[in-house]
Amino acid sequence: MLRKKHQNITLSLSQPVVAELHFYLPDRGISKFVEEAVVEKLAMKKKLLEQQYIEAAQDSARNEVFNEWEHLSGEGLDEENTW
């Protein structure tokens, strides 16, 4: 069985949260609990971001404005300034 490589980090948590962790979990179980909670929360963030990208891609008015700006980018850069 392959073991995941772990890295120690320092986290700052409020005293009430730390007290609850120690109350409900064994000392050797806190890291695993925190890791699982972080993985779960990251999955939710990733899913939300993916949904937002999909919604943005389907926003035709927004995409039309971006296309207009895309056509304007660089316009006039090769022309000699006359001012």
The pLDDT tens digits of the residues spanning 10-28 come to 999 999 999 999 999 998 9
| Burial of residue 29 (number of CB atoms within 10 Å: 0-12, 13-18, 19+) | exposed
pLDDT tens figures, 55-78: 988 888 888 888 888 877 666 666
Q: Report DSSP state, residue 49.
A: H
List for the chain the helix, strand, coil content (%; round to 5): 65, 0, 35
> What does pTM read for this prediction?
0.63
* Cα distance between the two ends of the chain: 72
